[in-house]
Amino acid sequence: MSINAQFPKWRSRRLRRTNAIRRLVSETQISVNDFVAPLFVREDIKEPQQISSLPGVYQHTLESLKLEVDSLRKLGIPGVILFGIPKSKDEFGSGAWDPDGIVQLALKDLKENFGDDMTLIADLCVDEYTNHGHCGVLSPDGTVDNDATLEIYNQIALAQADAGADICAPSGMMDGQVSSIRNALDSSSHTQTIILAYSAKYASSLYGPFRDAVDVIIKDGGDRRGYQQDYANLREALTEIKADISEGADIVMVKPALSYLDVIAKARAEVEVPIAAYHVSGEYSMVKAAEANGWLDGESVMMEHLLSIKRAGADIILTYAAKQAAEILQD
């Protein structure tokens, strides 16, 4: 008996022999349809500003944001998620629900220019807008007041939906946020507005470049471990995910992505709704920094990372590499 017939492992070797064969039998496919590009729009600038810790990513003006969204649309990317940087901040983050706030103005402009050709997602939180950097209203003892924050989230959701958001994406990890927002939207004739819940958002150390991008400094050196997920816990994440679905979430998210592939995979096995994963700023910037130092092939590693997120079970990948990945896939 020949060794080829005796050992089935040779079959795998045959199926890896050429690039065309590998493509033909590939178990996981990634495409531009999987990507959402996070974009930043700032109120007090006249030209786009490069974010030093996020190479290739900018704080945009309304005009440059429109040009960037158009370029993403032409590459076939189906969606963007918007984060705003206001000119001034206050203790409540009132710019987040101001009809003339920067994200609401951006949503109106983009919806007017691109209609349904682009899915417009609005991050729903107040950390970019508060002078203390937390994701909600603070109690006198300095902790986040969950229920008072929900009232604010409802106002933000309505402002975003009125401005043209297709999807509201609550990211504050407040208990009951999905139910509260769903009720507010439905009561104001926004029954078609989708909720993408940051259901398993971990208290990660990988958010640093993002905080640079939105000028967030958490008051008194504080952190968000009181309301974001403990990165030691998987079962807790699944409880949060299922709770958000029961409250009306249309899509759920795991954030970050690469350090939490097990969470994505477990969630995919247990729930039926679409799962998004956020390939966060630190995950992106580490590759860019290593590439700049000549330590690795940045393009290859970035695509490997994105494919691993898809392989774990994510249907949607939010990534700062969306444009670069789309260009690679086009070639």
Which positions are catalytic?
A: 201, 255
Would you say 101 and 84 are in contact if contact means Cβ atoms under 8 Å apart? yes
285: closest CA among 247, 320, 318?
320
Residue 163, classed as helix, strand or coil, is helix
Per-residue b or e along 256-274, where b marks 16 or more CB atoms closer than 10 Å to that residue's CB: bbbebbebbbbbeeebebe
Whole-angstrom Cα distance, residue 326 to residue 308?
A: 16
Per-residue b or e along 113-147, where b marks 16 or more CB atoms closer than 10 Å to that residue's CB: ebeeebbbbbbbbbbbbbebbbbbbbeeeeebbbe
Peptide bond into 140 cis (omega under 30): no
Q: Pull the structure tokens for residue 12.
A: 């795998």
Would you say 81 and 38 are in contact if contact means Cβ atoms under 8 Å apart? yes
Q: Which helix (H) or strand (E) holds 123?
A: strand 119-124
At 68, phi and psi to the nearest 5?
-65, -45
